[in-house]
Structure 1
Amino acid sequence: MFDIKWIRDNPQTFDRGLEKRGLPPLSAKLIEMDDARRAHITKLQDAQERRNAASKEIGKAKGSGDEEKAQALIDEVAKLKSFVQGGEEEERKLTAGLEEALSAIPNLPLDDVPVGPDEDANVEVRRVGDKPSFDFAPKEHFELGEGLGLMDFEAAAKMAGSRFVVMQGGLARLHRALAQFMVDLQTLEHGYTETIPPLLVRDEAVYGTAQLPKFAEDLFKTTDGRWLIPTAEVPLTNLARERIFEDAELPMRVTALTPCFRSEAGSAGRDVRGMLRQHQFDKVELVSVTRAEDSVDELERMVGCAEEVLKRLGLHYRVVTLSTGDMGFGARKTYDIEVWLPGQDMFREISSCSVCGDFQARRMNARYRPSGEKGLKFCHTLNGSGIAVGRALIAVMENYQTADGAIAVPEALKPYLGGLDTIGGPQNTGGK
């Protein structure tokens, strides 16, 4: 969310940032709304001052025996009181209207973000590892899972509808091993604090991370008005809500393994087969809260933490910088990590890491006290996948598949699977 004072002071910079997002200039309209709000507040303050003064004059008029003047002042005070009461309501409406307009505007991109309307303008930063080679036609994950009898989409559909899956036996165990491996890596080696947050949150929490009000249709809401989290970014970032950090407390780095719930509104027909795009999935989320001057470097660090998962698993991937048209609503810069899927013969997103500047912190009033300075500053927030467990499972299945339809276990996961070498296959019926 933006500070209207900053927009007033930097209208051209604001509009140039919106132009990169493919949006029209909005500074003049917002300043006009703020001018109307300020003018009304001035009238209201003048009326309150006059009401107070007139109230004092009533006593003087009565003391001097001037009942006519006293009555006129009483009538004036009554009118002013009525105006003030109505005016306070009008002030709330004007303020709410301005805040609503500001909250619907996406964050401004950093200067080095590629400008473009969609994913075609994304810029590849690097590729890591080599594509696996097969002496057979590689299958997609759902073909492998169904062939092993360990992935059942029909059973899930009977219970919950489309975009759900039932996993059992060795695949369920492999999924759990991936999640445990990721959490251990991010906490024991990368310094994130493991957290178990609520999966249900209130409006203000989802508003704080900018999913509301614009993206309500992408979320699931309960009958008592709470929201199922679309990502642990929501509760983890809200740990900073209404806090004042001391300089030495930053950066705050937290991680959580949670289920995530998304309605996938607008994705009809996309990735219908398999478990690439699910209503329910598990993810290891990374969140950092930093000083303003540290956030860009923290983004590079976070991407490295997510990449390390794929390196340890021996997966081929690339890192891309998202264009202004492909970047998320609250981000100033985003890196996507895309893993190679042999079954699809293409790269697919497996992690997304973003720096949001003070965009979320302003919504949550998350501030810090800079060492040696007077006053407070808004924190900067970052979030990233470290990584999506289901998509990591897909990548392992497709990259480690064997000719007989089994899944070889990556070395990094064997300690979590009791040394198991394969899931499925003729020599490993225990995989089921």
Structure 2
Amino acid sequence: MLLLACPLVGYSFVQAVSLYSESSAAALQSPVLARSLSPLDGILVPTFGAFYVAVTLLFPFVAIRVLSQEKESGALRLLVQLPYRPSTLIAAKFCAVLAAWLMVSIPALSSLVVWAVLGGHLAAPETLNLLFGHLLYGLLAGSIALFAAVISDNSATAGITALAVTIGSWVLDFTLMGRPGLSAWLAQLSLTQTLRPFEQGLLSSGLVFGIAAVVGGLAALTIVWLPPGTPVRVKMIRSGIWVLVIVAGPGAATQIKASVDLSEDRRNSFSSADERLLATLQRPLVIRVNLATEDPRYVDLRRNVLGKLERAMPDVSVVLASERSKVTNPSDAYGQIEYVYGDRTDVSRSTSPREILPLLYALAGTQPPAPSVGEDYPGYPLVVSADAALLWFFGGLPLLIALAWRQIRQLPPDKGYLVHQGVKP
């Protein structure tokens, strides 16, 4: 997997640097354009996007091998008879999966080093947040693969089962994303949704809790289904509570609103002055949006205003108009956003915070804060070529991996282990 990930990640990194340099050449002449150049969007997300593809398609096979080889050879029946609990065995297997993820992330991590050597900028908070998101995704894919290995008779069946879940997430994204009602709820079950907040520099405690609940539930199910001698009926009865945890955990996580904006350009937040003033508005704010969820104006409103207000104010409720009301009142009401703060109400069609924030301050009877000074994101344009890095990703790094593999294969057996087994070294 490492050998396959090297060219995949390397080519994506070089292409990202090339596109970033082309944008930087124009931005060097315009400070306004320079502010839109973020290494998070231009370099990190595309590069780690290739790593995400590798983890989705290849990493389940690595994780499956942790258990399936012992199951197929019959060694699992001996393992479960050793003097430790099945939970200890599964915990050790999860540590092995975590170590495997750290190893296969070497090409992606080396791209960060290459970018820094080229003179590129890296903001530690947003970079570490993105790495943390991919770690959670790797553990999620690994836990799915381990459970598939336990319930399947062989590696091939386990691989098909795991890929049906991971690749099925792409199907959910393509077919259901942006649709209202049940389709919107099903689209949120996609595994790819777990990475999007991290790619925007947002650390959501609810999302982390939801992923932890699913990973923990799958680990518990793996423990339940591990002993080969337990009847299937007993395993299914014991699995009930953990299936409930996996189903209810993400739903309960959506009620946790706490999140931290770790992006350097504060794309998920208003200015510091606005954030402080909005935090003092204690009365409930109800926002009635008469827009379809697939309408681009609603997407802009959600990204530029609604999401930021939900993090900044203590009590914000967003109510979407029903489909029936859109049909009965298609002309005048559609597109209006009504803001109700206490006993005051106002209506606007704008999706820009420059118009909506003064409206909210007027409803609250307070003066807008003074503009913040020194918070403008400078942007980091950089015109550089990364073509030489292809030598590292297509030659140097794969060669080091092959040499390390060859060295590990040639290591002599541990003498202490051989003496303990009664074998002469």
TM-score (norm 2): 0.24
Higher relative contact order (CA 8 A, sep 6+): 2
Structure holding more strand per residue:
1
Structure holding more helix per residue:
2
Which protein is bigger by CA-based radius of gyration? Answer: 1
TM-score (norm 1): 0.24
